[in-house]
């Protein structure tokens, strides 16, 4: 049963990691715009590709 | 009629073709060619109706943007060569816009990257300032039809960052809530305290540690608000909430450290988590709309100043008395001026409510805010911008005081009694149990305060009103915040502006009074008007549907009339007939015979009559800055004593003030800068707008003009929504009373509290959402 302590400890570490990931994502502005990225990902070629075609 | 390949508008005049594609104007063709050259043709494939017609701009319009002082204020980041700037671009409307605007680096050398925020309609550009100037960047964006908004307001400095702490508080509370629930699971399932004493202790202490950030970080705004409320001698809803949270924390900590129980940390963190969700839901606002604009958002950032023969762009802040300025067609006059040179035709409908454009002579004073129609004019500045006749309105005390403090929400009103009752019950049951057992008394008092914590009550208004706000927003009625709903439900009087509110700004109804014209005559009139740039000619040209013919000997007597072949059109003095008073008119003569005149009026909104008659249970008023030509017309809709014309902006504000002093609750509906004072002073100021992204003065709500006829439904809906709030108050009271029954008997357990709290909250959330949705469906049927 003592292994439970280890598991609880690990799960809390993992969860804290996710909490900090969340705080980081808020801070870096990932939640500011929840619409544009969903449109942007549907465009076929990114800017670099278009540049290559031009050359 | 063919549709323009670029903007999809109907091509009215001579067709412009290239590559077998048709364009409505040179501007659209230029955009197409520019995109074609840069292989950005996919723009037209991504979505329909992609193109935006570029607005007219003259060379040097943006040169002031290269001024160091302005750059410093505009750029959000500037380091050696790299600069970042953000603009509002209202023309952003589809996925093609995102596609093109994020490929600006292909269009203009020196732009490193660009990013669109579609919801906020902003464009953020990173560019190399040693390779390209900001003015060149803006000219490029304007050239492809996405002219950014650059106004005086932007000089205030960088925009405030949105407060992200609330999101973090929510995240932390959610994290702790989930983990505490997980660690409490064993207890819920009836873990034997003696057999697993080791786990029991560890779980309890871990719960305590997890509750610390919830108590000290996530719940902080509630403590703060409660403290501020008590300081102002007002028991707001946050007082009983804070009390509940506080007692929960103390009692749980005591139970754990003395080893007598598991505490209520699951309820504590759950409570805070749900409350923060409610707050998040309530605060969801419309990011692309601004409710706080003043004249500074309407005025341009710079104006052309003439010194000798040189033209120079000067920021409006630095404009001083005695400067000579040049105003071009369609430009705004930023300060009170005297006309020095040129033909001035000033359209100040947005500022004064006066429908007709006024002709000014050299030496006349022109007040700030008007727009020049026609050619360029030269003016001499009389006053600083902030001292002008129009902008002085903003010095009125109505703009100084902050109204928000005075609003007492219905939730806060109820919570006053709620808190007092709870405290009484707690004290009396404490006294009762004291007689038997002091320990039990403390337990009962704390249990009462915990179970009475008005979580469901606190969630009722945020969810009911938050959902109401969302439904109204879906129907193009955008409220500043949920407090406005409560304000609207209390309205007794509605005050309307005329120009732009009851009538459609920029649209005119043309009727011909006199002999009926046959199709040949109509063709001749339309063809005659084609070449004239006078605003009335343009209106008549657009109003007549007829074939165009070629006329000979065309001559325009500027400001008087037009002649060709045997047709003469123009003012009463030009045709030499009697002038009809107070209306815009164009007289017509064929072969020396007087035919009659065109009467040009502002066009009324659709369903105006039925909408106003549905509002009959309110007292309706009309205040307009226009002359009283339409007084008789308006008598059909408004009581004669409540129709007021020729009202100055400050008169409008005072009118609202007088009504309010009689104890009335006023809703003001207006559109222009001249209504700004009245909108601000009224209990609910609604700004009506043809395009919600364009300028509208500071207000509590923005109504899209296309949904004007739904206004009576919206008003009814808000008062129904308030009833939903009351009903859900009743439901949450029932839960509180039920819980209280067990608490007074001393039978409340942690698991009972942990179940009761979320169930009551969820009931309220589901109830409010379902009922508000249902009510709106019923009303709009």
ipTM of the complex, rounded to two decimals: 0.83
Q: Are B119 and A43 within 8 A, CB to CB?
A: no
Residues 10-49 of A with CB under 8 A from B: 12, 15-16, 18-19, 22-23, 26-27, 31-36, 39-40, 42-44, 47
Question: DSSP secondary-structure letter at B14?
Answer: S
Set of chain B residues whose Cβ sits within 8 Å of the Cβ of A47: 102-103, 105-106, 113
- Summarised one tens digit per residue, pLDDT across range B442-475 is 888 888 888 887 888 888 888 899 899 999 998 9
Alpha-carbon distance of A8 to A17, in angstroms, equals 14
| Per-residue model confidence (pLDDT) at position B210 | 94
Distance from CA of A6 to the nearest CA of B (A): 12
State the residue range of the domain holding A40. 3-54
Q: Are A36 and B162 within 8 A, CB to CB?
A: no
Q: Does B202 touch chain A (CB under 8 A)?
A: yes
| pLDDT > 50? residue B352 | yes
Cβ atoms within 10 Å of B576's Cβ, excluding its own? 11
Q: Are B95 and A42 within 8 A, CB to CB?
A: yes
Set of chain B residues whose Cβ sits within 8 Å of the Cβ of A23: 168, 171-172
| pLDDT > 50? residue B191 | yes
Strands B684-689, B701-704: parallel, antiparallel or unpaired by DSSP? parallel
Cβ atoms within 10 Å of B322's Cβ, excluding its own? 8
| Per-residue model confidence (pLDDT) at position B408 | 62
Confidence of residue B322 (pLDDT cuts 50, 70, 90): confident
Q: Does B41 touch chain A (CB under 8 A)?
A: no
Alpha-carbon distance of B25 to B415, in angstroms, equals 63
| Per-residue model confidence (pLDDT) at position B535 | 73
Distance from CA of A26 to the nearest CA of B (A): 7
Pick among B118, B126, B284 to test the A interface (most A CBs inside 10 A): B118
Q: Are A8 and B202 within 8 A, CB to CB?
A: yes
| pLDDT > 50? residue A50 | no
Confidence of residue A51 (pLDDT cuts 50, 70, 90): very low
| Per-residue model confidence (pLDDT) at position B316 | 82
Set of chain B residues whose Cβ sits within 8 Å of the Cβ of A26: 164, 167-168, 171
Residue B306: exposed, middle, or buried by beta-carbon count in 10 A (0-12, 13-18, 19+)? middle
Torsion of CA B513, B514, B515, B520, to 10 degrees: -50
Q: Are A42 and B117 within 8 A, CB to CB?
A: no
- The residue among B513 and B358 whose pLDDT is bigger is B513
Set of chain B residues whose Cβ sits within 8 Å of the Cβ of A51: 106
Share of chain B above pLDDT 90, in %: 15
| Mean per-residue pLDDT, B607-618 | 87
Q: Does B179 touch chain A (CB under 8 A)?
A: yes
Q: Does A52 touch chain B (CB under 8 A)?
A: no
Q: Does A9 touch chain B (CB under 8 A)?
A: no
| Per-residue model confidence (pLDDT) at position A54 | 38
Show Cβ contacts of residue B406 under 8 Å, excluding neighbours closer than 6 positions. Answer: none
Minimum CA–CA partner of B95 in chain A: A39
CB B363 within 8 A of CB B339: yes
Q: Are B39 and A54 within 8 A, CB to CB?
A: yes
Alpha-carbon distance of B666 to B328, in angstroms, equals 40
| Mean per-residue pLDDT, B279-288 | 76
Q: Does B118 touch chain A (CB under 8 A)?
A: yes
Set of chain B residues whose Cβ sits within 8 Å of the Cβ of A8: 183, 202, 206
| pLDDT > 80? residue B392 | no
Say which of A5, A22, A50 has its CB closest to residue B103: A50
| pLDDT > 90? residue A23 | yes
The pair phi, psi for residue A11, each rounded to 5°, is -65, -35
Set of chain B residues whose Cβ sits within 8 Å of the Cβ of A53: 39
Structural tokens at position B366: 């022109």
CB B96 within 8 A of CB B43: yes
Alpha-carbon distance of B384 to B382, in angstroms, equals 7
| Mean per-residue pLDDT, B311-315 | 80
| Per-residue model confidence (pLDDT) at position B719 | 92
Q: Are A36 and B167 within 8 A, CB to CB?
A: no
- Summarised one tens digit per residue, pLDDT across range B198-257 is 888 888 999 999 999 999 999 999 999 899 988 888 788 888 889 889 989 999 999 899
| pLDDT > 80? residue A8 | yes
Task: Give how far the C-alpha of residue B203 lies from the chain's centroid of Cα atoms, to the nearest Å.
Answer: 50
Sheet strands (E) in B263-322: 302-307, 310-315
CB B262 within 8 A of CB B185: no
Highest mean pLDDT, choosing among B288-302, B364-378, B482-496, B543-557: B482-496
Structural tokens at position B139: 């000219």
- The residue among B174 and B376 whose pLDDT is bigger is B174
Q: Are B168 and A23 within 8 A, CB to CB?
A: yes
| Per-residue model confidence (pLDDT) at position A19 | 95
Token pair 């409510």 is found at B353
Residue B424: exposed, middle, or buried by beta-carbon count in 10 A (0-12, 13-18, 19+)? exposed
Confidence of residue B157 (pLDDT cuts 50, 70, 90): low
| pLDDT > 80? residue B89 | yes
Minimum CA–CA partner of A13 in chain B: B179
Mean pLDDT of chain B: 84
Say which of B98, B171, B183 has its CB closest to residue A39: B98
Set of chain B residues whose Cβ sits within 8 Å of the Cβ of A35: 118-119
**Choice among B6-10, B649-653, B657-661, B773-777 with the minimum mean pLDDT:** B6-10
Q: Are B183 and A8 within 8 A, CB to CB?
A: yes
| Per-residue model confidence (pLDDT) at position A18 | 95
User: How many domains would you assign to chain A?
Assistant: 1
Say which of A4, A33, A43 has its CB closest to residue B117: A33
Sign of the C-alpha dihedral computed for residues B767, B768, B774 and B779 taken in this order: positive
* Segment B230-235 long-range contacts (CB within 8 Å, at least 24 positions apart): B234/B412, B234/B416, B235/B412, B235/B415, B235/B416, B235/B419, B235/B420
| Mean per-residue pLDDT, B189-204 | 82
| Per-residue model confidence (pLDDT) at position B30 | 79
3-state secondary structure of B560: coil
3-state secondary structure of B457: helix
Say which of B106, B115, B120 has its CB closest to residue A50: B106
Set of chain B residues whose Cβ sits within 8 Å of the Cβ of A34: 119
Strands B493-496, B666-670: parallel, antiparallel or unpaired by DSSP? parallel
| CA geometry: angle B334, B339, B343, nearest 5 deg | 105
| pLDDT > 80? residue B393 | no
| Mean per-residue pLDDT, B300-305 | 84
Structural tokens at position B771: 């009922």
Show Cβ contacts of residue A18 under 8 Å, excluding neighbours closer than 6 positions. Answer: B175
| pLDDT > 60? residue A47 | no
Q: What is the 3-state secondary structure (H, E, C) of B564-630?
A: ECCEEEECHHHHCCCCCCCCEEEEEEECCEEEEEEEEEEEECCCHHHHHHHCCCCEEEEECCCCHHH
Confidence of residue B724 (pLDDT cuts 50, 70, 90): very high
| Mean per-residue pLDDT, B296-313 | 81
- Summarised one tens digit per residue, pLDDT across range B529-550 is 877 777 788 788 888 888 778 7
Q: Are B171 and A15 within 8 A, CB to CB?
A: no
- The residue among B678 and B375 whose pLDDT is bigger is B678
Say which of A26, A33, A47 has its CB closest to residue B164: A26
| pLDDT > 70? residue B161 | no
3-state secondary structure of B98: helix
Q: Are A47 and B162 within 8 A, CB to CB?
A: no
| pLDDT > 90? residue B272 | yes
Minimum CA–CA partner of B105 in chain A: A47
Cβ atoms within 10 Å of B36's Cβ, excluding its own? 14
| Per-residue model confidence (pLDDT) at position B99 | 85
């Amino acid at each position: 049963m003592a292994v439970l302590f280890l598991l609880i400890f690990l799960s809390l570490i993992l969860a804290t990691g996710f909490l900090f990931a969340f705080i980081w994502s808020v801070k870096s502005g990932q939640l500011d715009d929840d619409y544009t990225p969903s449109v942007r990902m549907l465009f076929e070629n990114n800017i670099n590709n278009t540049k290559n075609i031009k050359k | 009629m063919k549709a323009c390949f670029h903007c999809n508008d109907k091509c009215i005049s001579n067709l412009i073709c290239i590559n077998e594609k048709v364009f409505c104007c040179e501007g659209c063709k230029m955009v197409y060619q520019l995109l074609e050259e840069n292989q950005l043709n996919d723009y037209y494939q991504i979505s329909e109706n992609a193109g935006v017609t570029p607005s007219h701009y003259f060379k040097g319009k943006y040169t002031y943007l290269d001024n160091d002082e302005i750059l410093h204020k505009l750029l959000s980041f500037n380091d050696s060569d790299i600069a970042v700037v953000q603009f509002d671009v209202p023309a952003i409307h589809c996925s093609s816009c995102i596609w093109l605007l994020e490929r600006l680096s292909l269009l203009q050398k020196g732009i490193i990257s660009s990013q669109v925020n579609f919801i906020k309609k902003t464009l953020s550009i990173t560019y190399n300032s040693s390779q390209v100037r900001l003015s060149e960047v803006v000219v490029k964006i304007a050239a492809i039809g996405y002219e950014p908004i650059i106004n005086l307001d932007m000089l205030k400095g960088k925009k405030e960052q949105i407060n992200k702490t609330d999101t973090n508080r929510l995240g932390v509370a959610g994290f702790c809530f989930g983990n505490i629930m997980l660690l409490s699971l064993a207890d819920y399932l009836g873990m034997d305290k003696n057999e697993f004493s080791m786990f029991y202790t560890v779980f309890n202490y871990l719960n305590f540690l997890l509750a610390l950030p919830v108590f000290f970080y996530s719940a902080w705004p509630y403590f703060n608000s409660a403290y501020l409320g008590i300081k102002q001698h007002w028991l707001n809803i946050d007082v009983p909430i804070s009390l509940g949270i506080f007692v929960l924390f103390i009692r749980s900590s005591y139970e754990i450290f003395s080893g007598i129980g598991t505490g209520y940390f699951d309820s504590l963190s759950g409570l805070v988590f749900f409350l923060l969700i409610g707050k998040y839901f309530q605060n969801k606002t419309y990011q692309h709309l601004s409710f706080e604009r003043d004249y500074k958002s309407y005025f341009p950032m710079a104006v052309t100043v003439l010194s000798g023969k040189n033209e120079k762009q000067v920021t409006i802040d630095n404009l001083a008395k005695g400067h000579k300025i040049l105003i071009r067609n369609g430009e705004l006059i930023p300060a009170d001026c005297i006309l020095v040179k040129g033909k001035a035709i000033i359209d100040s409908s947005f500022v004064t409510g006066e429908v007709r454009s006024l002709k000014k002579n050299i030496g006349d004073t022109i007040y700030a805010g008007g727009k020049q129609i026609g050619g360029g004019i030269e003016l001499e500045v009389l006053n600083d911008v902030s001292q002008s006749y129009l902008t002085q309105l903003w010095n009125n005390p109505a703009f100084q005081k902050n109204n928000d403090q005075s609003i007492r929400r219905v939730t806060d009103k109820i919570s006053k009694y709620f808190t007092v009752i709870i405290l009484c019950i707690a004290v009396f049951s404490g006294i009762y149990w004291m007689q038997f057992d002091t320990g039990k008394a403390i337990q009962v008092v704390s249990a009462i305060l915990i179970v009475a914590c008005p979580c469901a009550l606190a969630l009722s208004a945020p969810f009911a009103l938050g959902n109401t706000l969302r439904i109204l927003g879906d129907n193009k009625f955008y409220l500043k915040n949920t407090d406005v709903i409560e304000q609207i439900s209390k309205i007794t009087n509605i005050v309307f502006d005329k120009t732009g509110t009851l009538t459609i700004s920029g649209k005119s109804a043309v009727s011909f009074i006199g002999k009926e014209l046959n199709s040949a005559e109509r063709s001749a009139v339309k063809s005659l008007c084609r070449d004239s740039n006078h605003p009335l000619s343009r209106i008549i040209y657009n109003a007549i549907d007829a074939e165009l013919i070629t006329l000979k000997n065309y001559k325009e007597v500027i400001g008087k009339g037009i002649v060709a072949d045997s047709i003469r059109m123009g003012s009463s003095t030009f045709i030499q007939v009697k002038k009809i008073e107070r209306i815009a008119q164009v007289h017509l003569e064929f072969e020396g015979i007087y035919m009659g005149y065109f009467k040009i009026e502002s066009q009324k909104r659709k369903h105006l009559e039925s909408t106003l008659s549905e509002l009959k249970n309110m007292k309706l008023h009309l205040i307009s800055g226009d002359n009283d030509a339409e007084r008789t017309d308006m008598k059909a809709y408004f009581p004669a004593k409540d129709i007021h014309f020729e009202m100055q902006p400050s008169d409008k504000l005072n009118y609202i003030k007088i009504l309010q002093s009689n104890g009335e609750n006023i809703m003001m509906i207006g559109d222009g800068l001249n209504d700004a004072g009245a909108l601000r002073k009224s209990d609910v100021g609604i700004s009506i707008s043809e395009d919600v992204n364009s300028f509208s003065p500071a207000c509590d709500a923005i109504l899209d003009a296309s949904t004007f006829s739904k206004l009576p439904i919206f008003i009814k809906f808000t008062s129904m929504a308030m009833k939903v709030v009351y009903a859900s108050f009743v439901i949450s009271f029932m839960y509180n009373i039920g819980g209280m029954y067990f608490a007074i008997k001393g039978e409340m357990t942690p698991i009972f509290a942990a179940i009761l709290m979320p169930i009551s909250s969820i009931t309220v959330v589901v109830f409010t959402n379902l009922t508000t949705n249902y009510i709106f469906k019923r009303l709009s049927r």
